[in-house]
Amino acid sequence: MGDQFAQSELGMVPALRWEEPPEGPVLVLLDQTRLPQEEVELVCTDVQALVAAIRALAVRGAPVLGLAGAYGIALAAARGYDVLEAADLLAHARPTAVNLAYGVRRAVAAYEQASPDQAAAAALAEARALHAQDAAASTAMAEYGGRLLAELVPGGGYRILTHCNTGALVSGGEGTALGVVMAAHRVGELRRLWVDETRPLLQGARLTAYEAARAGMPYTLLVDSAAGSLFTAGEVDAVLIGADRIAADGSTANKVGSYPLAVLARYHHVPFVVVAPTTTVDLGTPDGASIEVEQRAGSEVTDLAPSPLGTQAYNPAFDVTPPELITAIVTENGVVSPVTAESLAAVCGQTTGQPLA
Ligand code: MRU
């Protein structure tokens, strides 16, 4: 325990990429379960391997799950696998992040609309289009988020608290919440990034710290339960998080531990901002209670926290923050504030993701 890893030895490779070696097309993933110790790539030659990688969180985070879903359909099509069977497997690999089913659905639609001899190429083109769209959304969110921060925290020099991981590892671009932080850092306005370790799988400690260190950000890691004392000390100017699914009323599912931060932020009069592309908004889910929250194995908790044999653990992967606790939702189409069903629908236009039937 207590090992730290020299950042200079690592040079981050993309979260996922499509390759076409002579043996046939593959989807190559950066195995996020191995970070920050080592950058190991996972080569998926079939949909089953990709589904296993999604379930194991080798590839994770809402926007990139959408890309994995779309490329997964392209892989199935190129390898002659039953595309509708692949769609069912992929779309249900994890239940909460709506982008996964959205990416699958887009690639399947492209596949079905093309002539049979063009169908595999059409699915791949759609996956690439979604990839480019996600990168552009990252850039736009960083822009809108930067302007919002300047309004919310006059004087600059932001001290931002974040939870889980929302950078390039989850995106076709620089990410969602961490993309905004990255932009602030680039212009010299980031005083401190507070990084929640994010139990039990430690996406904050392992992944956000890894990305922050690589970018040369001033960052400090804390155990999740230390957040309250940071607020009491007046050390947080804003909380920035991502989202896995935003319901039509603005209720936001994100990594477990996000909701307590929203309550703390409200009590301490600190802005609580969600940064997510409109592909994470699901107008087909009316409210927070309707969001399916993934329950993961209790062993993820007991493996981390030595406990008596047979101890049962409660391990929801996400929690839901109600809209009244959210200061603003930053999307690539603009900022929603105050967060209402009407303002959210307006900013989404026609790009809202819907789950597969
Ligand atoms: O279980 P994960 O690691 O896939 O969960 C991801 C998150 O909850 C992230 O916090 C994130 O905000 C959503 S992706 C930008």
Q: What is the dihedral of CA 42, 136, 256, 241, to 10 degrees?
A: 140
> Which pLDDT score is estimated for 36?
96
- CATH number assigned to the domain comprising residue 219: 3.40.50.10470
Q: For residue 180, how far is its CA from the centre of ligand 1 (angstroms)?
A: 16
Residue type, position 77, single letter = A
Listed residues 99, 132, 165: the one ending a domain: 132
What are the structure tokens assigned to 79, written together?
Answer: 């390898």
Q: Are residues 177 and 242 in the same domain?
A: yes
CB-count burial class (<10 Å; 0-12, 13-18, 19+) for 17: middle
Residue 58 in any domain: the answer is yes
Residues with CB under 6 A from ligand 1: 57, 60-63, 164-166, 170, 176, 203, 241-244, 254-255, 317
Residue 357 in any domain: the answer is no
Give residue-wise pLDDT tens across range 199-225: 999 999 999 999 999 999 999 999 999
Residue type, position 18, single letter = W
Using alpha carbons, select from 333, 156, 320 the residue that is nearest to residue 254: 320
> Which pLDDT score is estimated for 20?
97
Residue 143 in any domain: the answer is no
This prediction has a pTM of 0.95
The preferred substitution site among 29, 161, 254, 274 for testing ligand 1, maximizing ligand atoms within 8 Å of CB, is 254
Q: Provide the b/e sequence for 321-333 (b: ≥16 CB within 10 Å).
A: bbbebbbbbbbbb
Residue 45 in any domain: the answer is yes
Cβ neighbours, 10 Å, residue 268 = 14
Q: For residue 279, how far is its CA from the centre of ligand 1 (angstroms)?
A: 14
Q: Are residues 209 and 325 in the same domain?
A: yes
Q: For residue 55, how far is its CA from the centre of ligand 1 (angstroms)?
A: 13
Residue 190 in any domain: the answer is yes
> Which pLDDT score is estimated for 9?
56
Phi/psi-derived region of residue 185, left when phi > 0, alpha when psi is between -120 and 50, beta in every other case: alpha
Q: Which residue segment(s) compose the domain that 76 sits in? A: 16-132
Q: What is the dihedral of CA 142, 63, 15, 6, to 10 degrees?
A: 50
Q: Are residues 162 and 226 in the same domain?
A: yes
Q: For residue 60, how far is its CA from the centre of ligand 1 (angstroms)?
A: 7
> Which pLDDT score is estimated for 4?
64
State which residues of the chain have pLDDT below 50.
1-2, 350-357
The preferred substitution site among 65, 170, 279 for testing ligand 1, maximizing ligand atoms within 8 Å of CB, is 170
Q: Whose CA is nearest to atom 12 of ligand 1?
A: 242
> Which pLDDT score is estimated for 3?
58
> Which pLDDT score is estimated for 10?
61
Give residue-wise pLDDT tens across range 228-262: 999 999 999 999 999 999 999 999 999 999 999 99
- CATH number assigned to the domain comprising residue 103: 1.20.120.420
The single residue of 134, 237, 244, 319 carrying the catalytic annotation is: 244
Active site residue 237: no
Cα 276 to Cα 274: distance, rounded to the nearest angstrom: 6
Number of domains in the chain: 2
> Which pLDDT score is estimated for 42?
97
> Which pLDDT score is estimated for 13?
79
Listed residues 132, 164, 182: the one ending a domain: 132
Q: Are residues 247 and 114 in the same domain?
A: no
Give residue-wise pLDDT tens across range 82-91: 999 999 999 9
